[in-house]
Amino acid sequence: MNARELTELAVSCGATSAALMQGSQIVLNAEYRAMCEANRCGVYGKCYMCPPDAGPIDELMARITRYKNAILFQTVTQLEDSFDIEGMTAARKNLVKVSERLRDQLIPLLPAPALLLSAGGCGICEECGKVSGVPCRFPERAMASLESYGIDVSRTSRNAGLRYNNGAGTVTYFGMILFGACCVIQDAFL
């Protein structure tokens, strides 16, 4: 399998586009934790995969640097207008489905270990068990966000050659699979 086949598989799983990149191209910024703490998304402290439960930012960023390779993928969804909250919610749910398909179909093909990150917290359950105080219902499926690990998605997507903003009336969500701790994948492998 080569880089083109990898990205084609990601698209067949529902991603709009995807790119193979080196781990060293991922831009990290600890200040993202302050943005989570500002709780503009309203999920801070309400999801096991979000801060503060996700863990200290320095530890999570250090974890990112252990991976030599990553596949950055995105979904781009057309909205009716910039107030189309239903459309944004549907787009977010679609990203969760795409991420799960990638975990099932793509990660088994990659050199271990691998880590799947998505957007905006976990999203597997309608309401995280954290809210009602029950343990995580699907710990093997739970996903943290790129931002909770300190990834600067805008600059990282530029390094990967993917557009961060895909135009007026669209919403773009990103996810990432980090993989391989021993060597950089150039192109053909497996």
Range in contact with ligand SF4 (rule: CB under 6 A) among 26-34, 62-70, 106-114, 135-143: 135-143
The values of phi and psi at residue 44, to 5°, are -55, 125
Exactly one of 117, 119, 136, 171 binds ligand SF4 (CB under 6 A); that residue is 136
| Structure-block tokens of residue 83 | 């107030």
Residue 103 CB, nearest approach to ligand SF4 (Å) = 13
Could you say which DSSP state residue 113 is in?
A: P
Exactly one of 10, 21, 98, 122 binds ligand SF4 (CB under 6 A); that residue is 122
Q: Does 95 interact with ligand SF4 (rule: CB under 6 A)?
A: no
- The pattern of x and - marking residues 30 through 49 that bind ligand SF4 according to CB under 6 A reads -----------------xxx
Range in contact with ligand SF4 (rule: CB under 6 A) among 8-16, 27-35, 110-118, 137-145: 137-145
Q: Does 138 interact with ligand SF4 (rule: CB under 6 A)?
A: yes
Give the three-state DSSP class for 127.
coil
Cα angle value 32/34/37 (rounded, 5°): 115
In whole angstroms, what is the distance from residue 74 CA to residue 54 CA?
22
In whole angstroms, what is the distance from residue 142 CA to residue 146 CA?
13
Contact residues for ligand SF4, defined by CB under 6 A: 47-49, 122, 124-125, 128-130, 136-138, 141-142
